[in-house]
Amino acid sequence: MTTEVPSSSTERYLEVQQSEEFGRLRHAVRSFVFPMTVAFFLWYALYVLLSAYARGFMSTKLIGNINVALVFGLLQFVTTFLIAWYYSKYAATKIDPIADKIRADLNSTSGSAASEGPGDN
Amino acid sequence: MHTHLLAAEASTSTSRGLTITLFLVFVAITLAITIWASRQTKTATDFYAGGRQFSGFQNGMAIGGDYMSAASFLGIAGLIALYGYDGFLDSIGFLVAWLVALLLVAEYLRNSGRYTMADVLAFRMRQRPVRTAASVSTIVVSIFYLIAQMVGAGALVSLLLGIKPGATFLGMDAGRAKVATIILVGALMIVYVVVGGMKGTTYVQIVKAFMLMTGALLMTILVLAHYKFNLSTLLGDAAEQSGKGTKFLEPGLRYGVESASASATFYSKMDLLSLGIALVLGTAGLPHILTRFYTVPTSKIARKSVLWAIGIIGTFYLFTLALGFGAAALVGSKAITAQDKAGNTAAPQLAQALGIDYLGGDTGGSILLAIIAAVAFATILAVVAGLTLASSSSLAHDFYASVVKRGNASERDEVKVARFSALGIGAVAIALSIFAQSLNVAFLVALAFAVAASANLPAILYSLFWKQFNTSGALWSIYGGLAASVILVFFSPVVSGSATAMFPSHDWHWFPLSNPGIISIPLGFLAGFIGTKLSKEDDTAKYTELEVRSLTGHGAH
pLDDT digits (tens, 9 = 90+) for A30-54: 999 999 999 999 999 999 999 999 9
Average pLDDT over residues A77-88: 98
Q: What is the DSSP letter of B410?
A: -
pLDDT digits over B116-175, tens only?
999 999 999 999 999 999 999 999 999 999 999 998 888 777 677 766 666 777 777 777
Of residues B109, B462, B123, B121, the one with CA closest to residue B303? B109
pLDDT in the model for residue B14: 72
- What's the CA dihedral at A92, A94, A100, A102 to 10 degrees? -170
Q: Which of B40, B85, B96 to mutate to test the interface with A (most CBs of A within 10 A)?
A: B96
Average pLDDT over residues B214-221: 96
State the complex-level ipTM: 0.93
pLDDT digits over B471-524, tens only?
999 999 999 999 999 999 999 999 999 988 999 999 999 999 999 999 999 999
Nearest CB to B545; choose among A10, A47, A59 = A10
Does the pLDDT at position A120 exceed 60?
no
Contact by Cβ (8 Å): B476, B309: no
pLDDT in the model for residue A64: 93
pLDDT in the model for residue B542: 93
| CA-atom Rg of chain B in angstroms | 23
CA distance B451 to B282: 7
- DSSP helix/strand/coil, A15: helix
Distance from CA of A73 to the nearest CA of B (A): 7
- For the entire predicted model, the pTM comes to 0.93
Q: What percent of chain B has pLDDT over 90?
A: 77
Distance from CA of A72 to the nearest CA of B (A): 10
Q: What is the DSSP letter of A63?
A: E
Angle at alpha carbon of residue B34, lines to B30 and B37, rounded to 5°:
135
- DSSP helix/strand/coil, B310: helix
Residue-averaged pLDDT of chain B:
92
- DSSP helix/strand/coil, A62: strand
Chain A CB contacts of B273 below 8 Å: 48-49, 52
How many other CB atoms are there within 10 angstroms of residue B67's CB atom? Answer: 25
pLDDT in the model for residue B155: 76
pLDDT in the model for residue B82: 94
pLDDT digits over B236-274, tens only?
999 999 999 999 999 999 999 998 999 999 999 999 999
pLDDT in the model for residue B7: 44
pLDDT digits over B440-459, tens only?
888 899 999 999 999 999 99
pLDDT band for A102, please (50, 70, 90 cuts): very high
How many other CB atoms are there within 10 angstroms of residue A30's CB atom? Answer: 12
Torsion over CA: B15, B21, B24, B28 (sign): negative
pLDDT in the model for residue B163: 67
The DSSP element (H or E) to which A67 belongs, if any, is: strand A66-67
Contact by Cβ (8 Å): B337, B343: yes
pLDDT in the model for residue B71: 75
Of residues B418, B34, B33, B40, the one with CA closest to residue B195? B34
CB contact under 8 A, A41 and B255: no
User: b or e along B120-133 (b: 16 or more beta carbons within 10 Å of the residue's beta carbon)?
Assistant: bbbbbbebbbbbbb
Residues β-bridged to residue B496: B503
In chain A, the residue whose alpha carbon lies closest to the alpha carbon of B397 is: A1
- DSSP helix/strand/coil, A3: coil
A19-28, A52-61, A112-121, B27-36: least confidently modelled range: A112-121
CB contact under 8 A, B255 and A51: yes
> Between residues 15 and 54 of chain A, which touch chain B (CB distance below 8 Å)?
16-17, 22, 25-26, 29, 32-33, 36-37, 40-41, 44-45, 47-49, 51-53
